[in-house]
Chains A and B, each alone.
Chain A
Amino acid sequence: MLKLEKLVIDNGGFELSADFTLAAGSKAAIIGPSGAGKSTLIGGIAGFHPIVSGRLCWNGENLTGATPGARPLAMLFQDGNLFPHLSIAQNVGLGLNPDLRLSAAQWDRVNQALARVGLEGMGTRKPAALSGGQQSRAALARVLIQGRPLLLLDEPFAALGPALKVEMLDLVDTLVAETKATLLMVSHDPQDARRIADQVILVAEGAAHPPRETISLLDNPPPALRAYLG
């Protein structure tokens, strides 16, 4: 269970407050107007923005002051999720050991993860030799291999076309179901939320509201959400 107790996150002077819990295994979409603090919320949970007050806990473990690498989560950013000078296999291997000292068995796991996302035999290529969709798949292979209980997505598929984006969301859905991870994803598009998320966290006017069930919230939006949805 992810617990945000009276959390205040600072993003260069902008402060976002959040006070809610999210059950383990949930799939939550974070929606709201641009500039409202969606990325601040996810960045605070990941450890990139300092927590000014309150507590952040995962299954009873206090994460409030932990460094980003020490938190039990994997994260994908809007862009730059792969190191261009490392091969695809190396990029995925980082999920097992950040210094890339891997045993033969671990390299096997890397190849299995690549096969799982449909990139069999492409491990030796550099990211530049892959299409945008394939690059997303490679990043997801790393997420798979990291096996962290929390997955944060900060719109990593925003640059993909609509069909490709749906494909990636479906892949995320299967991977999350396999690993039983808890998913938190920023989204601009209510359709994404309907497609994959069972909960929606609305972020507006400097506050993150507690998660609500997707269908009921979107079908019957409160005023702040209605203003955003238009």
Chain B
Amino acid sequence: MARRAQPIGHRSGVGAAAIVAALILGALVAVALRAESGRGLGPSDWGAVQFTVVQAALSAGFSVAIAVPVARALARRRFPGRRILIALLGAPFILPVIVAVLGLLAVFGRNGWISVALGWIGLPPLQIYGLHGVVLAHVFFNLPLATRLILQGWQEIPAERFRLAAQLGAGPRAMWQLLEWPMLRQIVPSVLAVIFAICLTSFAVALTLGGGPGATTIELAIYQAFRFDFDLGRAALLSCIQIALTGTAALIALRTARGDGFGSGLDRPVQRWDARGKAARVLDGGLIMLAAGFLLVPLAAIVLAGLPGLVDLPVTVLAATLNSVFVAGISTLVTLALALPMAIAVALGRGGFVEFSGLLGLAASPLVIGTGFFVVIYPVVDPALLALPVTALVNALMALPFALRILVPRARQVIDRYGRLALTLGMAGRPFLRRVLLPRMRAQIGFAAGLSAALSMGDLGVITLFADSERATLPLQVYRLMGAYQMQAAAAAALLLLAMSMALFWLLDRGGRWHAEA
């Protein structure tokens, strides 16, 4: 049967998807071919596998366990600043990991605020390095995500149900059994799976707060095999294990996933008549304040710690900032160049292969892709020379799934609504793209670009494999300053990094919406 006429072609999208698949699968094949299974896995490698799974499970468990009561409190209370607080819950997504780590160190570290307070009453300082530090940082990043997802579940319970339940005289307990528990039973498994999958590929947190025999993730072990032993065969073998692990987790997460994700509206007016008791009010208020404090105090700490050092930042930091802006710029352009045609192809119903290659970035971890690229590049040219372009490319591949999620629904909407009109006017092809599709997708393109730029700006991953002492991005420079115990300079550079990431996101996101019509 002939297909419906379409205002725009899908071929360039399939081409872009083929490039993405070739890059990611090519890297995986390179890794698999290079892997040396001769020696098999040593005890330390098994230790890394075990630690990776345990920390991811604990991180997911704690994040969700805390998120459920916090989300309930946010769902049933109205207070000034609630909207802003919920919007802030989306911020950790684009918060550079190294910045958060420095903030957490400033609060929970050996010389942090809490340790100092403990010292006043004669108690020993906190120990943040190790399993609990890694889990703490992961909860910091994923508690907001879990809260948003679960809150969304709460707000998707139609207001009429609450009205009906209230009319039937349901108290908090009955409300829980009737409405809240069934909703949680549906949502919580998918949230657990998503956070577990995210934490499996954690690198920067393990690099800064973990390490040592007892607290090394597989990603970190790959890095160590590279940097310390330059044992490419072992790095590749570890990468294979990581692929199997993240691939499985990503599949589980996708299977349990619900269609929608971050960024959707969260403020429908639901009136609640239960939970008016004083105890419930105090409980909810306390929970919200604790959660907000847990998220905001480390950020405030980094601002306070960084401000004094901003005036005399080392030259290396400024050079690294320029590198990072370059990397973020290239990465954003590549993301858009790939994501736009792919989004159009998916919107046209030519999904299959294109969607598959759009999801590949979720299943493969950046360090594994980096290892693959390194294996291919190393015999040909000094990898350090390509450190920045490769970092930009890998960042783009990692941002691609998120960009597609933002772009596809809008592309579908525009093509559905205006495709036929454009066809009767003979606008098929370039005129449709230039005059209709791109202008009407501007807000989404800006959002995707902002996200992609901020993610790339803050990324501390592949660059650690490729960079020599001459080259660094800003996050790597912050890490190096930390390693050299120049904590004030590190805090100042981290503050600069935070400001740059947020500014890039804000500029691009705003740029997309500037003068945009509904």
Contacts and interface: CB of A to CB of B under 8 A. Distances in A.
Interface of A: 10, 46-52, 67-70, 73-75, 77, 80-81, 83-86, 94-95, 98-100, 126, 128, 142, 146
12 contacts: A47-B5, A47-B423, A51-B2, A68-B424, A69-B423, A69-B428, A83-B436, A85-B516, A95-B425, A98-B431, A99-B427, A99-B434
Given A100-B435, A128-B517, A48 B423 contact: yes
A209 to B, nearest CB: 25
Contacts of B424: 46, 68-69, 73-75
A68 B435 contact: no
B417 interface: yes
B248 to A, nearest CB: 38
Query: What is the interface residue range for chain B against chain A?
Result: 20 to 34
A108 B430 CA distance: 25
Contact of A99 (B3, B430, B439, B518): B430
Listed residue (A50, A85, A86, A95) with the most chain B CB atoms within 10 angstroms of its CB:
A85
A85 to B, nearest CB: 5
Given A75-B424, A95-B425, A67 B435 contact: no
Nearest to B422: A98
A9 to B, nearest CB: 11
B186 to A, nearest CB: 32
B421 A81 contact: yes
Interface in B1-49: 1-5
Interface in B388-419: 417-418
A99 B435 contact: yes
Contact of B425 (A52, A85, A98): A98
A100 B5 CA distance: 22
B421 A50 contact: no
B431 A84 contact: no
Contacts of A126: 517
Contact of B427 (A69, A70, A85): A69
A73 B425 CA distance: 9
Given A69-B425, A100-B431, 20 more contacts: A46-B420, A47-B423, A48-B4, A48-B5, A50-B1, A50-B4, A51-B2, A52-B1, A67-B428, A69-B423, A80-B418, A83-B435, A83-B436, A85-B439, A94-B425, A95-B425, A98-B425, A98-B427, A128-B517, A142-B425
A130 B153 CA distance: 39
A142 B425 CA distance: 10
A59 B424 CA distance: 19
A85 B440 contact: yes
Nearest to B432: A98
Listed residue (B418, B420, B421, B428) with the most chain A CB atoms within 10 angstroms of its CB:
B421
A204 to B, nearest CB: 25
Nearest to B515: A85
A10 B3 CA distance: 10
Contacts of B293: none
A70 B426 contact: yes
A68 B427 CA distance: 10
B4 A84 contact: no
Nearest to A142: B425
Nearest to B517: A85
A23 to B, nearest CB: 23
Interface in B481-518: 516-518
Contact of B517 (A67, A75, A77, A84): A84
A86 B435 contact: yes
A68 B5 contact: yes
Contact of A80 (B4, B421, B428, B439): B421
Given A10-B1, A73-B424, A83-B436, A128 B417 contact: no
Nearest to A152: B424
Nearest to A139: B421
A80 B417 contact: yes
B402 to A, nearest CB: 25
A50 B435 contact: no
Listed residue (A50, A70, A99) with the most chain B CB atoms within 10 angstroms of its CB:
A99
A48 B432 CA distance: 17
Contacts of B427: 69, 94, 98-99
B4 to A, nearest CB: 7
A156 B4 CA distance: 22
Interface string B158-201: 00000000000000000000000000000000000000000000
A70 B427 CA distance: 10
B5 A67 contact: yes
Listed residue (A52, A70, A77, A94) with the most chain B CB atoms within 10 angstroms of its CB:
A94
Contacts of A85: 439-440, 516-517
Contacts of B426: 69-70, 98
Nearest to A65: B2
A70 B434 CA distance: 20
A113 to B, nearest CB: 15
Listed residue (A84, A95, A98, A128) with the most chain B CB atoms within 10 angstroms of its CB:
A98
Interface string B318-351: 0000000000000000000000000000000000
Listed residue (B426, B430, B516) with the most chain A CB atoms within 10 angstroms of its CB:
B426
A70 B430 CA distance: 16
B423 A68 contact: yes
Nearest to A67: B5
